[in-house]
Structure formats: structure tokens, C-alpha cells
Amino acid sequence: MNAILKMVLQRLGLGALTLIVVSIIISIGVELLPGDLAQEILGQAATPETVAQFRKEVGLDKPAYVRYFLWLGGIFQGDFGTSLANQLEISQLIGKRLQNTLFLASLAALIAVPLSLLLGVLAALYRNGIYDRAVNAITLTSISVPEFFFAYVLIIILAVNLGWFPSLSNVSTDMPLWERVYKTFLPALTLTLVVVAHMMRMTRAAIINLLASPYIEMANLKGIRKFRIIVHHALPNAWAPIINVIVFNLAYLVVGVVVVEVVFVYPGLGQLMVDSVQVRDIPVVQACSLIFAATYILLNLTADILAILTNPRLLHPK
């Protein structure tokens, strides 16, 4: 247990250092964006004096490094600052948007994780058969196709032609649960099609790798059914790599929702980030990017901890 705690503290320290580096990269990136917030808000007809006064009011007249350290100091105090575009607290802007993004990612995970495990177990059970080859071909295709293409195909088929689901996901936190699930289903299905392939293929590979083990051969000699051997003997010992790939894909579900949210006009953190980039609202872009980076780091740490709990030998690499 002490070894796990030591590993967690080390990873948290490295994660904090990584976040600082990421924040610097984000700040440099948004500074290099073309255009100007003051000009975007005031319009092309604004006089240079009006633009200069507006820049001074929102703090854009300060050097970039000064603004960065002021912003970083506020982050350490739990203050994300104020949006330059509408003068609202960034924490207020992010709050409901983050809830919506987490709801979308959770719904996609509830569909993708059980489905990928089932498909992976069946592919290992019937490996080299017609089912295995068909599933592998479909999953390889889904890996190769970008998520926005899946999104538009689903909109055309399920929303436009069949009319089963709305093409735009206008949801809110005060909406009834099932109505919210209904309106979020298409973007969740899009994310599922993107991530299920990785998890299914890792499940299949991990199980097949264990099927040549001596204890599996003994179980076969005892006459135990193949499905029971895979589920009760092979799968528990294959959890470490499977958990890793599942958690990595869960991280993608949270971090990689930007394109899907934009396609479905879903009011999540990704859509907020894109809207803020368009008006050059630098503090909001920085806050959204930092939340995405922190989520990815924490989920990677979670993957390491769960992998060690399922296979303690990982604490003592050779």
C-alpha cells in the first residue's frame, strides 16, 4: 500500500509540473492566434482610441507574460478569472458546460465499455472465424474514419431520413433525465463508434495471449466450457491491459468531445472553447484547455492505479 501511495504522490507531482508546462504552451498558442478581442467585439468601425481604451479596461495592454502570471496566480487560488468577451466569471461559464460534457462522456462510456468487452470476449471465443474477421474489419474501419464523418452520417440516417433523433443536441441541466439522454444519444453514439474499436481489440488480444497459458490448457483438459474458461479464468488475469485502454479511451471521451460537440451544437466545454477561440477570449480558452489537460492526467493516473491493483507485479518491474 505504501508503494502505491508513493507512486500516486510521484504521479501527482509530475502531473502538476505537466499542467504548468501545458499552461505555458496554451498561453503561447492563444497569443499567436490571429485577430484581436477588442477589434472582434467593437467591430471594424471602432476608432483606435476606443480600441485602446477597451484593451486597457480588460487588461490586454499588459505584456503577455504579466497576464500569464496573473492568470496562473488566480488558478492557484481557485479563481479562473473573468471572461474578456462578456465580463462573466469563467467558473460560472464553465460550471454547466462541464456538467454537460461529463454527462455526454458518461453516456458514451455506459454504451461503449460493456459493448467492447462483449465484442472482445466473443472475438476471442470465435477467433479466426467469420465473426472475428467481420468484427475486426468493422472496428478497423471505425478507427480509420474521423468522428465528424460518423456524426454527419448518423445525422443523415437517424435524424434526417428516419427522424428518430434530433440533429441538434440542445440540452440543459434542468431537463428530465430521459429527455436529456434522448437528445444526447446521437453524439454519444458517435463517440462510441470511435472508441469501441480500441477497447474491443485490446480485450481480444489480451484474452488470446492468455489462452496459451498452462492453467488455461489444464482447464481445457478438464472439459470446462470455452466461454467459462475465457470469462472466469482468462478475463480476470487480462484486466491490467484492458483497464489501461478503457481508461485511456474514457480520457478521450472527455478530452476529444470538441469536434462532436461542435457538429451537434452540444452546449459542452468543447463548444465553449471553440466559441471562445472565435472571439479570442484568451482566459476562457486557457481555462478550458487546462481542465481538459487535468482530466487526461488524472485519468491516466487512475489507469495506472487500477492496473496495479489488478496486477501487483507491476509495482516491481524487472
Residue 40's pLDDT is 66
Give how far Cα 143 sits from Cα of 20, 157, 193, 206, Å: 32, 20, 8, 19
Alpha-carbon Rg for the chain in angstroms: 24
- Asked if residue 171 belongs to a domain, the reply is yes
Segments forming the whole domain that contains residue 104: 97-315
177 domain residue, yes or no: yes
Helix, strand, coil percentages, rounded to 5, for the chain? 75, 0, 20
Q: What is the mean pLDDT of each run of 10 residues along the chain (318 residues)?
A: 70 78 79 68 71 73 77 76 75 82 87 85 79 81 79 86 83 80 87 82 78 73 74 71 76 78 85 80 81 81 71 57
For the domain that residue 208 is a member of, what is the CATH number? 1.10.3720.10
Length in residues, the chain = 318
Residue 304 falls inside a structural domain: yes
Residue 81 lies in a domain: no
For the chain, the domain total comes to: 1
Inter-residue contact 124 to 211 (CB < 8 Å): yes
What's the pLDDT score for residue 36? 64
Instruction: Determine the pLDDT at residue 43.
Output: 67
pLDDT at 310: 64
Residue 78 placed within a domain? no
Would you say residue 44 lies in a domain? Answer: no
Exposed/middle/buried for 42, CB within 10 Å: 0-12, 13-18, 19+? middle
- Classify residue 176: in a domain, yes or no: yes
Q: Is residue 307 included in any domain, yes or no?
A: yes
Q: What pLDDT is stored for residue 1 in this prediction?
A: 54
Residue-wise pLDDT tens digits, 101-131 = 888 888 888 888 888 888 887 887 777 788 8
